[in-house]
Structure 1
Amino acid sequence: MKQRIAFYAGSFDPMTNGHADVLAGALALADQVVIGIGIQASKQPLFTFEERVALISEWAKAAYGADAQRLKIVSFKGLLVDVAREHEATLLIRGLRDGTDLDYEMQMAGMNGTMAPQLHTVFLPASPAVRSITATLVRQIASMGGNIHPFVPANVANALVSKFKN
């Protein structure tokens, strides 16, 4: 039987408990989940691509042990559908926090479905405890010395604290 591969794209700058929540759902649906970290030349991320890979990998090993090998992390530029096809994905995973996300994601799913009909978008609603979390708000809270521990994995919280100490 062919392996079911899902592609979950985002900036993961930083990875949040919301991302972790969606990844848990994706792992329940697919044999392998490719985490695509989008790289945009016009944006200056807080964490480098390599730092984000290390943070996600460290979290995954702690959260999933040997099962963490079902996650693969790649960078990408350009169209999501192109990179998903390159990795033989058949599912595009999209997390939803609220109705605003749904409106935007429905438009994206329609466009992606037209460009790549073999890819099926799966919407995973965020658990109530993580619905309000955004990476942007986490960065803002961390930059002002606030407590970000409820919003991100422990290793990410430590990295944020270190990043803003300097």
Structure 2
Amino acid sequence: MILSTKNFGEIEIDSKKIINFIDGIPGFDDQKEFIIIDNPDDEVPFKWLQSINEPELAFVIINPFLFKPDYVFDIPEQALEKLKIKEEKDVAVYSIVNIPDDITKMTANLIGPVIINTKEMLGKQIVLDDSRYTTKHFILKEAKAKGKEE
């Protein structure tokens, strides 16, 4: 299948890798189908969550455990059921990244992780009720702190 995107032009995708966000993504409730596109630069840990039906809509995402290995939360029971999650190995977790002009101030939304059942290809962004996390968690600051611990 050929997909039109703002950031990558026309690309070929495997339709089996389309993720169904039953509820959409908060603020984009009408967009239900997305695909994860790897960043062309393998050195960069970011990926793109690209809308299938809206070429202009793509979110930069990152695996939050890469910069915050102590990130811990429970997926609400309702989300587990909706996503048909049976085993932890079938779960992928991403955070949506905000990249401002000054990239040293780039942040990740840790209070709203994107949960994907990689077996069923179902996704949902959940909102955590956890004061340890924010919508603007500084990625580089956390990565530097992690590096000093090692």
TM-score range with shorter-chain normalisation? under 0.3
Higher relative contact order (CA 8 A, sep 6+): 1
TM-score, normalised to structure 2, is 0.24
Bigger helix fraction? 1
